[in-house]
């Protein structure tokens, strides 16, 4: 539709100057032939109506192509981002990801419509003088040919100069968006430190960089010589036609028609000043999107892996882990550079030579000072990260040999930093089990000691929580997260300091709920609270990424200085 509409539009545009020339010739005869004027007028009118329909088809086809392309790219990018490992998301700035997922994808749309739409249409327009001018005199094709050669010569130079500028436009916008996202996400810290003016200054600096990039782009567009070429083509073409007219090789109607054909060059010349800029911006955006999609991670979904209920036996065999080996850029050097710049401060040896075994249904407490690697250790279990060396086994099978979706659906992890969606309370609780009934949701909330405060809300379970749950207290968020975990009935439950924001009275209730929830399933608890550590079947003491001690509470109080020091401190 796009090509047919473009060809028909250009062809019928050439009808007007040709028939206008015929009308001149008819009227300039010794005896003017007025009988041809009405048919010529009707022919022009009908041709332009058809041309309008074809132009509508061209625009519709281009817009349809652009919208389909945008939707497909958004879908592929979104699926790709969900499939990346957590290390990728930890390193990749959220603001830049959002800029690529929104503005860069939108620029791809604009690249097709109006960009490619206008370029395809204008390319056929630029050929029409060559196809038609020869009917008046063969030499008249010389000016359009020279114009086309010079046009594309300068166009290639223009695009080469424009490419790095549009790359900078998109990159600078990503940097600005990254800073904006971080400032808004950390607005409480900014206000608490009274750094609003400093953050505004940084944003203004980033915005100025975006403005400067656009100014450079505008400067290049302003110095593009296409309009100068067009004026020269008009002058030389008309001069050439008038010479032929003086020599008697053309009549006046032919001169008028030929100059009308030269006027068709105005459309491709005019659109070249912005259509190719839009295409260059779209190509820059496409490179940024492809770089994001193609950046490889070592996380294999293993869709053909093991799928069956987990019994709960867990074993770590000589496990070592570091963050730098988890993510690897694929094809694009800027990805390698970004990783190098952003991972310089990442610890190389988070965990070293970790080995232990847990029987099904046991409760394991993991203790250690901040930075000992407790959270990293348990994130290897559900393959949030993959080990650098060694093996993590569930029911005697390496977690990498499990189907990732099956593995994760049977492991629930409640972290200290609770994330809640801007949705209803019941939707947050049922996130891991979308088909849960209201009674199941309420039962899970009661088990997590959350039902009472939820019922106190004006809309109860239909109350919409703010972004990340900011309208709730820390204890309320953690109890909703506990309810979410209880509802999925996981075979392995991981609690990462999940009662840190709960008062003592509520803690006793939740402790009983956790004890009930832990019954019959393997449970890992990261905590510093002695009340939770005492009843663990196994306690693992981590120190600087290594196991410092292993045993029950009574055993470790007698044999491990590192463990007893935790409680003395």
Q: Is 333 exposed, middle or buried (0-12, 13-18, 19+ CB in 10 A)?
A: exposed
Residue 337 pLDDT greater than 50, yes or no: no
pLDDT mean over 418-446: 88
Is there a domain that residue 191 lies in?
Answer: yes
Is there a domain that residue 242 lies in?
Answer: yes
Is there a domain that residue 321 lies in?
Answer: no
Residue 565 pLDDT greater than 60, yes or no: yes
pLDDT at 502: 60
Strand, coil or helix: 250: coil
pLDDT at 339: 44
pLDDT mean over 51-77: 90
Is there a domain that residue 112 lies in?
Answer: yes
Residue 176 pLDDT greater than 70, yes or no: yes
| CA 438 – CA 446 distance, rounded (Å) | 12
Listed residues 489, 511, 546: the one ending a domain: 489
Give residue-wise pLDDT tens across range 89-131.
777 888 888 889 989 999 999 999 888 888 888 888 888 899 8
Listed residues 294, 315, 330: the one ending a domain: 294
Residue 443 pLDDT greater than 70, yes or no: yes
pLDDT at 567: 66
Residue 475 pLDDT greater than 80, yes or no: no
pLDDT at 85: 72
Is there a domain that residue 323 lies in?
Answer: no
Is there a domain that residue 375 lies in?
Answer: no
pLDDT mean over 348-355: 84
Residues comprising the chain, all counted? 569
- Which of the two residues, 471 and 334, has the higher pLDDT score? 471
pTM: 0.71
Residue 141 pLDDT greater than 80, yes or no: yes
Listed residues 294, 311, 340: the one ending a domain: 294
The sign of the torsion formed by the CA atoms of 500, 505, 510, 516 equals positive
Q: Is 378 exposed, middle or buried (0-12, 13-18, 19+ CB in 10 A)?
A: buried
CATH value at residue 111: 1.20.1560.10
Contact of 207 with 172, CB cutoff 8 Å: no
pLDDT mean over 518-528: 82
Q: What is the domain count for the chain?
A: 2
Segment among 239-253, 334-348, 427-441 with least mean pLDDT: 334-348
Residue 480 pLDDT greater than 60, yes or no: yes
- Which of the two residues, 489 and 297, has the higher pLDDT score? 489
Is there a domain that residue 157 lies in?
Answer: yes
**Cα 560 from chain centre:** 49
pLDDT mean over 378-398: 90
Is there a domain that residue 342 lies in?
Answer: no
Mean pLDDT of the chain, nearest integer:
84
Residue ranges making up the domain that contains 436:
422-489
């Amino acid at each position: 539709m796009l090509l047919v509409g473009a060809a028909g539009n250009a062809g019928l545009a050439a009808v007007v100057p040709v028939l206008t020339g015929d009308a001149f010739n008819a009227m300039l005869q010794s005896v003017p032939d007025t009988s041809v004027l009405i048919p010529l007028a009707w022919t022009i009118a009908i041709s332009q109506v058809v041309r309008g329909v074809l132009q509508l088809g061209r625009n519709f086809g281009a817009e349809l192509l652009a919208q389909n392309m945008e939707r497909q790219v958004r879908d592929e990018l979104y699926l790709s981002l969900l499939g990346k490992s957590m290390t990728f998301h930890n390193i990749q700035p959220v603001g830049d990801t959002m800029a690529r997922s929104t503005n860069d994808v939108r620029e791809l749309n604009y690249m097709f419509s109006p960009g490619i739409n206008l370029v395809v249409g204008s390319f056929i327009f630029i050929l029409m003088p060559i196809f038609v001018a020869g009917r008046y005199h063969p030499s008249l094709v010389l000016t359009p040919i020279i114009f086309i050669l010079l046009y594309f010569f300068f166009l290639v130079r223009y695009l080469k100069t424009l490419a790095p500028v549009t790359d900078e436009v998109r990159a600078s916008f990503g940097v600005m968006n990254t800073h904006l996202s971080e400032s808004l996400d950390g607005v409480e810290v900014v206000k608490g430190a009274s750094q609003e003016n400093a953050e505004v200054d940084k944003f203004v600096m980033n915005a100025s960089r975006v403005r400067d990039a656009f100014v450079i782009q505008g400067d290049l567009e302003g110095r593009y010589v296409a309009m100068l070429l067009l004026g020269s083509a008009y002058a030389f073409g008309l001069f050439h036609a008038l010479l032929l007219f003086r020599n008697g090789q053309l009549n006046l109607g032919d001169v008028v028609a030929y100059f009308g054909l030269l006027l068709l060059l105005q459309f491709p010349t005019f659109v070249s000043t912005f259509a190719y800029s839009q295409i260059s911006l779209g190509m820059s955006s496409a490179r940024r999107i492809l770089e994001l999609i193609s950046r490889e991670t070592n996380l294999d979904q293993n869709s053909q892996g093991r799928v069956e209920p987990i019994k709960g036996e867990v074993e770590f065999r000589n496990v070592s882990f570091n963050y730098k080996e988890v993510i690897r850029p694929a094809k694009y050097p800027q990805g390698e550079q970004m990783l190098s710049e952003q991972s310089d401060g990442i610890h190389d040896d988070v965990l070293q030579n970790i080995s232990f075994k847990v029987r099904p249904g046991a409760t394991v407490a993991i203790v250690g000072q901040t930075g000992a690697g407790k959270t990293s250790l348990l994130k290897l279990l559900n393959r949030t990260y993959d080990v650098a060396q060694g093996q993590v086994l569930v029911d005697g099978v390496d977690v990498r040999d499990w189907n990732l979706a099956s593995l994760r659906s049977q492991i629930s992890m409640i972290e200290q930093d609770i994330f809640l969606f801007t949705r209803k309370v019941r939707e947050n609780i049922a996130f891991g089990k979308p088909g849960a009934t209201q009674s199941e949701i309420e039962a899970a909330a009661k088990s997590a000691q959350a039902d009472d405060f939820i019922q106190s809300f004006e809309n109860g379970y239909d109350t919409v929580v703010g972004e990340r749950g900011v309208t709730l207290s820390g204890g309320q968020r953690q109890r909703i997260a506990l309810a979410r975990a209880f509802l999925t009935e996981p075979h392995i439950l991981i609690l990462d300091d999940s009662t840190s924001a709960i008062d003592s009275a509520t803690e006793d209730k939740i402790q009983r709920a956790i004890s009930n929830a832990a019954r019959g399933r393997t449970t890992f608890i990261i905590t510093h609270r002695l009340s939770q550590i005492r009843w663990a079947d196994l306690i693992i003491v981590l120190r600087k990424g290594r196991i410092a001690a292993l045993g029950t509470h009574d055993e470790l109080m007698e044999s491990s200085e590192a463990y007893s020091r935790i409680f003395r401190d």
